[in-house]
Copies of this chain bind each other. A is one copy, B any other.
Amino acid sequence: MPVAGADVAVRRAGRLAELLRRMRLVIVGGVAAGTKAAARARRVNPGLEIVLFQDEAEVSYTGCGQPYYLGGVIAGRDPLIIRRPAEFAAAGITVRTQHRVTELDLEERTVRVHDRVRDRHETLGYDRLILATGARPLIPQMPGIEADGVVSLRSIAELDRFDSALQRLRPGSAVIVGGGYVGLEVAEALRRRGLAVTLLERMERLLPRFDPELSARLQRVLRDAGVELRLGEHLAGLAAEGGRVRAVWTESGLRLPADLVVLALGIRPNVSLATAAGIRLGASGAIAVNPAQETSAAGVYAAGDCAESHHRIAGVPVWNPLGDIANLQGRVAGENAAGGHAEFPGVLGTAIFKAFDCKVGVTGLAEGAARVAGYRPITAVIETRDKARYYPGGRPVWLKLIAAAGDGRLLGAECFGSGAVDKLTDIIATALLGGLSCRDLEHADFAYAPPFSPVLSPVILAAQRLCQNLP
């Protein structure tokens, strides 16, 4: 009996595998999540037909690298394109660029596709579908928004428009609207090019979700680098002359002359296709998914910037549109869509960026977010250097650890400085993965030698300080 049962199971598995081999996987979107999903699906299931539609002319490009190209840190635009359609073709993945998927029929399991070059429409059936439609910048609808010199940053097309504005208009001054990561990275890029830069931020301080000390230092770094900060100012209007932008107005009546206006007001998930088809969105406005990256529709997955994530510390769904998460989610969606089994366990909200010589890293919950999530947080701040004091080249780091008052379990960290912010952030991210408390870290055995760390890591010092506040 067990043998016969096993035999039946093997035969069933064989039929399923055969079925999966003849299936067609359609992927909508080809930047990080879409291309990763395609590659993973191909690896898991060599017989699967895979067709990827990409609205834009390029696939598999980096968004995160674009400010560094604009600032001249990365020479040339080519390195921003990670893989070409031909490379996917060689792996048996059909990539159709400049094809926009305009409609999704969940009943019929078809997509309607617009070939934007030939201006032709076609309908294609799918067995499995992955939505990797990404996000788009928030562009306020106001007069002048189409003027020459008003730019944004996201797609390669937007990058080219930005680049072209820099080349053609030779702007002497720029106003950046929005003090998020992109706005700050662009501020550095434009200062590197010698522009006079004004940064407009609607909140009273930069990165208002984090510690005021972090905001204050970052603001100082920006001002020292010659960026004029205008905090608590909302964009109210744009002034153009002869089709070319000349200035912005703020709601308080400020008029700021600008040869270039960079809109960096944030991004929104690109969910129109999903919404029109009746796929459920989460509270964040992005597509709701389970740990297998499955949407509310059978056979339809979502991954990357269009999808929600589970926040592992807050315990709630969040929208966390970052390149590494898109990669990881794309891999899970591709694996599952191809017949494998994978689960994405969620995010920690880890992020890092730099503006000039100031690096800012965060993971888990900031103090305020911890309160919102129902924790009673305790915190410890350590300000030190990232090498032994007597070793040359050490740079300052500021680390704030946040833990639960009862058991000292870590909830998050904020870190900034010109030193090893990435390292400290990743140590805490790993500690969060392990559910560690400050007690677990106060005697941690980290890699110490004078060129690499003070004798006790700032993480240990902060953990020791937290332990003193435990009952």
* Contact indicator per residue, chain A 337-381, by CB within 8 Å of chain B (1) or not (0): 000000011011111111000010101000000000000000000
Interface size class, chain A: 35 or more
User: In the complex where A390-B74, A423-B426 touch, is A324 in contact with B68 (Cβ < 8 A)?
Assistant: no
Question: Per a CB cutoff under 8 Å, which of B352, B422, B436 touches A430?
Answer: B436
Number of identical monomers bound together in the oligomeric complex: 2
Taking CB atoms, residues of chain B closer than 8 Å to A452 are: 352, 354, 359, 422
User: In the complex where A352-B447, A445-B347, A447-B361 touch, is A453 in contact with B422 (Cβ < 8 A)?
Assistant: yes
A393, closest chain B residue (CB) = B73
The answer to whether A390 touches B80 (Cβ under 8 A) is yes
User: In the complex where A351-B447, A390-B79, A392-B73 touch, is A433 in contact with B426 (Cβ < 8 A)?
Assistant: no
Question: Per a CB cutoff under 8 Å, which of B327, B429, B460 touches A455?
Answer: B327
The distance from the CB of A324 to the nearest CB of chain B, in whole angstroms, is 4
Interface status of A388 (Cβ within 8 A of chain B) = yes
A361, closest chain B residue (CB) = B447
Within 8 A of B (CB), among A425-469: 425-427, 429-431, 433-436, 440-441, 443-453, 455-457, 460
Interface status of A206 (Cβ within 8 A of chain B) = no
The answer to whether A323 touches B455 (Cβ under 8 A) is yes
Taking CB atoms, residues of chain B closer than 8 Å to A426 are: 423, 426-427, 446-447, 457
Q: In the complex the two chains form, what is the Cα distance from A455 to B447 in whole Å? A: 24
The distance from the CB of A99 to the nearest CB of chain B, in whole angstroms, is 25
Taking CB atoms, residues of chain B closer than 8 Å to A446 are: 324, 350, 425-426, 429
Q: In the complex the two chains form, what is the Cα distance from A433 to B410 in whole Å? A: 14
Taking CB atoms, residues of chain B closer than 8 Å to A453 are: 422
Taking CB atoms, residues of chain B closer than 8 Å to A332 are: 443
Question: Per a CB cutoff under 8 Å, which of B312, B345, B420, B445 touches A350?
Answer: B445
* Contact indicator per residue, chain A 63-82, by CB within 8 Å of chain B (1) or not (0): 01100100001100001100
User: In the complex where A426-B427, A426-B446, A455-B327 touch, is A388 in contact with B62 (Cβ < 8 A)?
Assistant: yes
The answer to whether A445 touches B324 (Cβ under 8 A) is yes
Interface status of A322 (Cβ within 8 A of chain B) = yes
Which among A344, A347, A430 has the highest number of chain B CB atoms within 10 Å? A430
A79, closest chain B residue (CB) = B390
Within 8 A of B (CB), among A310-337: 312, 322-325, 327-328, 332
A444, closest chain B residue (CB) = B433
The distance from the CB of A310 to the nearest CB of chain B, in whole angstroms, is 11
User: In the complex where A388-B65, A430-B444 touch, is A456 in contact with B353 (Cβ < 8 A)?
Assistant: no
Interface status of A389 (Cβ within 8 A of chain B) = yes
A348, closest chain B residue (CB) = B445
Taking CB atoms, residues of chain B closer than 8 Å to A390 are: 62, 65, 74, 79-80
The distance from the CB of A225 to the nearest CB of chain B, in whole angstroms, is 16
A81, closest chain B residue (CB) = B390
The answer to whether A444 touches B429 (Cβ under 8 A) is yes
The answer to whether A431 touches B434 (Cβ under 8 A) is yes
The answer to whether A440 touches B445 (Cβ under 8 A) is no
Q: In the complex the two chains form, what is the Cα distance from A169 to B351 in whole Å? A: 54
Q: In the complex the two chains form, what is the Cα distance from A460 to B436 in whole Å? A: 19
The answer to whether A79 touches B389 (Cβ under 8 A) is yes
The answer to whether B391 touches A456 (Cβ under 8 A) is no
The distance from the CB of A35 to the nearest CB of chain B, in whole angstroms, is 12
Please name 23 pairs of A and B residues whose Cβ atoms are closer than 8 Å in the assembled complex, sorted by A: A62-B390, A65-B388, A68-B450, A74-B390, A74-B392, A322-B448, A324-B448, A328-B460, A349-B445, A351-B449, A354-B451, A359-B452, A420-B422, A421-B447, A422-B423, A422-B447, A426-B426, A426-B446, A426-B457, A430-B430, A433-B434, A434-B434, A434-B435
Known pairs A62-B450, A347-B445, A363-B445; list 18 more (Cβ under 8 Å).
Answer: A32-B455, A64-B449, A68-B451, A324-B445, A324-B456, A349-B445, A350-B446, A350-B448, A352-B449, A359-B452, A363-B447, A426-B426, A426-B446, A426-B457, A430-B431, A430-B434, A433-B434, A433-B441
Residues of A within 8 A of B (CB): 32, 62, 64-65, 68, 73-74, 79-80, 312, 322-325, 327-328, 332, 344-345, 347-354, 359, 361, 363, 388-392, 420-423, 425-427, 429-431, 433-436, 440-441, 443-453, 455-457, 460
